[in-house]
Amino acid sequence: MMSGCKLDNDSRRSPLVATSILFLDFVKAAALLNPHSTKYVEGAMAGKRLGNIGLYGSKGFESSDDWFLDSGATTHLSRRNDWLEKYNCDKSNTVGIANGAQIQSTGCGTVKIPLATKKTMIAKDVHHAPELAVNLLSVSRIASHGKSLIFDINGCRIVDIPIRVPQSHVLGTASQHQGLHCLDRPVQFGLLAEQPHDLWHRQLGHLSRGSMKLLLNGMVTGIPKNSVSNIDCVTCVKGKQCRLSFPKLHGKRATNLLDIVHSGICGPTQVRSFGGARYFISFIDDFSRESFIYFLKNKNDALQKFKEFVAFVERKTSRKVKCLRTDNGREYVNDHFAQFLTANGIRHERSVPDTPQQNGIAERLNPTIVKKARTMLIDAGLSTDLWAEAIGTANYLRNRCPTKALRNVRPGEAWSGRKPNLSHLKIFGCLAMECIFVGYSETSKGYRTINRFTKKLNIARDVVFLESSFPGTRQTNAHLGEQEKSAADDGEEVIMWKLQGDKPSGTEADKTVSSPIEARESPCCDTMNENAQTNEGRPKRNRVPNRTVFNSDFVVYEAGMHEGDPVSYRDAIRRPDAHDWLAAVDEELASHHKNHSWEVCSLPEGKKAIKSKWVFKTKCKIDGTIERRKARLVAKVCSQKPGINYEDTFAPTVGHASLRLLLSLAVQNDLEIIQMDVVTALLNPKLKEEIYMELPEGVAKCQYPTYCRLKKSIYGLKQSSRAWYDMLDGTLQRFGMKRLKSEPCVYYRRIVEKMLIIGIYVDDLLILSNDQQATTDLKRVLHKQFEMKDLGKAHWCLGIRINQEKKFGTLSVDQARYIDQILGRFGVVDCKVAKTPLDPNQLLSKEMSRRTEDERMEMKKIV
């Protein structure tokens, strides 16, 4: 490598690649846009490698104006910067060369290339690489802009229309992968080819080197002898990082299958699986160490899964489960579980409180499975929504790999008595034609895949795998590495499987640390058959309709709804749309400044200051799309005392019953419904009381004092609503409106057949009228007294969507958006419709009542 070559080993950018400069296809197929460059190609074809004719220098080249088509370059490269228009030096990058060297790109821009056909081709995003001796045009970049390239013995032609070739004349194809073209080759089911050493390591779910060596001693069939690599796996380091485990406590081993079964629950996960699961429960046979995994939406499902497990294994082995060993979690310790164990003669052994080591087999199994699954997800670049498929596959592989507990015998062999064949294994997450490989079928000899386009689960036997391609469902592994390094630098710890609830503390499971995988919830896709143990003959269950997950643009249920509004100022400024929320905060503070809501001062001796908080809300249009972000500064009223900080507090607002009545009157009397909004309504009344408040977040506090005295009412004060109601009431009565005695938030005025009705909900005014002049006069009075927003025809009120069709004399209301938000909040957007959400025959006991805040939230999802 020449001394002039710059290396950028610390760069976190993904390096651009220009690889084919050492290949003859580059020379043969060089698209000589300048005919004078032919002699250089002929010289190269005579036996010179391009690297010998001046990769870094200018030897062998009389002109640097020539452009060469490079089928192995992922981007355009130019050695001259005077050609580049719209030059951007911020887009510098590192270029990797075929001999392993790296050179620096100093920026990029657009180049207009004159062609021999007297036409001009515009190449965008051309990187300036002054150390190159030639200018390279990327074939894949040209093709991505709708151009076709025809290579033959005479050179190359670039055509600006698609070229169609009859299928009968197509000899072969090559798929584009990250800007390079990889020749498509046939692969037969179960047929082994020459594999790299780390391929089997990945196919076996990143099995340890020691366990892989044991497999080569004739323990299994279908795996080559030279499949163990001595190179450390970086992905294993990322995915399997954890703290040291406790010392082993040796107990009495079972002498037969199902004599002792260990069980433990892991969860809740931060991301729901495709089927809505947030937990998984494991059962492991003490004698064979065969493990079974079931997925749960709630911990209360543990008993049902145990029943399914018992029914399956007892019929499979013709033996009975004799003993169940668990911790003291309430999912195991309750009346219903005890009744089932007693009825079936199963002894229940529980670990002593605060001694999880007594249930060590289950405590070790769950984090082992989690680490393996997390490593496979990182390796494949898949989103965490696929965690259940990864867990199932990890357990499938674990049962077929040796364990020290059985003196290096495989659990599956000890369970069934048959030596496993591993020739069918593939790398988790690899490309399977139009699908992504996500596991193995237990009910048939086939593979489980997800179609990338239809988003459906498929089980097929004849599958063509491309184990060098991983389409993934999130950012690439390279980007992951950047995120991990960044998170490590910041001292952050992102946990994918967040173990909470009743799980004993101090175990290896609750200390498992994952790499920083984005934990954004996505809409669920296919409810893959997660409720099945990883063994043959798993029971069937009803399937939920397929759901979409792979489009990352739809994460957090953005189709038809917005993500939950920020709960605090700190939450708002940390979000991707922080600039929108900060703009709303600035708008609110500007209103206070314009309204002279407070004056900054020191806190007088003997006085106490109240605090404030920000309340954020998203206002939507009639179609559910976001109209604007809204921020409200609200006083915390817990420190207000009657007679000191406030007196009267009651302020009426229109209720849903009154609203429906008003809408009914509008239809019967052909009234037009319009809506107006009072900007910062509660800031208008003056305060009679002396109230001091700490300056809110978002207001500069760089110097003393940090308190203010409120001159006007603000949201949250107990007297604010009453003060605003009195002020608005006076304005409307002076205009000639009368207040209903039965509904003090409804005002009316009627002259003969002319009718004007106003419904008030704090700062929202719903105006019903068939008198255009009266409506205009009312708007003028309101605009004169307050800062108003005329919202025109009413569409939303109290969370209800209003759709008035005056020409048909109809009006309809619905709360579809609210329903969508509730379903989205709890991850059941595509759930099955049921007349009764809960099983009417389910028996509830005192033991099942909530005890923690997490359990209360879980119950809230159901009730």
The per-residue DSSP string of 486-511 comes to HHHHTT----SB---TTPPTTSSGGG
pLDDT at 589 over 70: yes
Average pLDDT score over residue span 217-229: 61
**And the tokens for 406?**
């059985």
DSSP track, 451-485: ETTT--EEEESS---BTT----SSS-HHHHHHHHH
Domain 198-511 has CATH 3.30.420.10: yes
Mean pLDDT, rounded, for 102-126 = 84
Peptide bond into 367 cis (omega under 30): no
Give the other-Cβ count within 10 Å of 401's Cβ. Answer: 23
Distance CA 626, CA 623 (A): 9
Give the closest residue to 618 by CA, choosing from 813, 817, 786.
Answer: 817
Mean pLDDT on 778-795: 88
Best CA proximity match to 517, nearest among 385, 372, 368: 385
Matching residue, tokens 């489009």: 551
pLDDT tens for each residue of 168-194 = 677 777 776 656 667 766 543 333 333
Q: pLDDT for 357-399, tens place per residue?
A: 677 888 888 888 998 888 888 888 877 778 888 899 999 988 8
Q: Please, which pLDDT band fits residue 714 given cuts at 50, 70 and 90?
A: confident
Number of residues written out for the chain: 863
Question: 311 is written with which tokens?
Answer: 């029914």
DSSP, collapsed to helix, strand or coil, labels residue 219 as: coil
pLDDT at residue 282 is higher than 90? yes
User: Residue 611: CB partners within 8 Å, gap ≥ 6?
Assistant: 635, 636, 639, 693, 694
How many beta carbons lie within 10 A of that of residue 13, not counting itself? 13
Q: Cα angle vertex 745, ends 739, 749, to 5°?
A: 35
CB neighbours of residue 537 within 10 Å: 11
Q: Which is catalytic among the residues 8, 25, 66, 70?
A: 70
CATH 3.30.420.10 domain locations along the chain? 198-511
- Digit-coded pLDDT (tens) for 315-357: 989 999 999 999 888 899 999 999 999 999 999 999 877 666 6
Predicted pLDDT at 354: 65
pLDDT at 177: 61
Six-digit token pair at 52?
């010998």
With the CA atoms of 836, 838, 841 and 844 taken in that order, what torsion angle do they form, in degrees rounded to the nearest 10? Answer: -150
Q: How sure is the predictor about 44, in pLDDT bands with cuts at 50, 70 and 90?
A: very low
**What average pLDDT does range 435-449 have in this prediction?**
74
* Cis preceding linkage at 705, omega within 30: yes
Is residue 662 a contact partner of residue 677, using CB atoms and an 8 Å limit? no
Residue 506 pLDDT > 50: no
Of 101-115, 295-309, 333-347, the poorest mean pLDDT is in 101-115
- Does residue 814 carry a catalytic annotation? no
What per-residue confidence (pLDDT) applies to 757? 92
Which tokens sit at 144? 């991505």
pLDDT, greater one: 628 or 845:
628
What integer pLDDT is reported at residue 48 of this predicted model? 33
pLDDT of the residue at 2: 37
Cβ-based neighbour number of residue 599 at 10 Å = 9
The CB density around residue 529, as the number of other CB atoms within 10 Å, is 22
Residue that is written with structure tokens 């690649």 in the block:
17
pLDDT value of position 862: 58
Beta strand spans in 660-726 (E): 672-678, 692-694, 707-710
Strand order, beta sheet including 746-751 = 738-739, 746-751, 754-761, 764-769, 672-678, 788-793
Instruction: Annotate 326-355 with b (16+ C-beta within 10 A) or e (fewer).
Output: bbbbbbbebebbeeebeeeebeeeebeeee
User: What's residue 863's pLDDT?
Assistant: 52
What's the chain's average pLDDT?
Answer: 71
**What is d(CA 797, CA 653) in angstroms, rounded to the nearest whole number?**
12
Q: Is the pLDDT assigned to residue 253 strictly greater than 60?
A: yes
Q: Using 50, 70 and 90 to split pLDDT, how confident is the model at 286?
A: very high
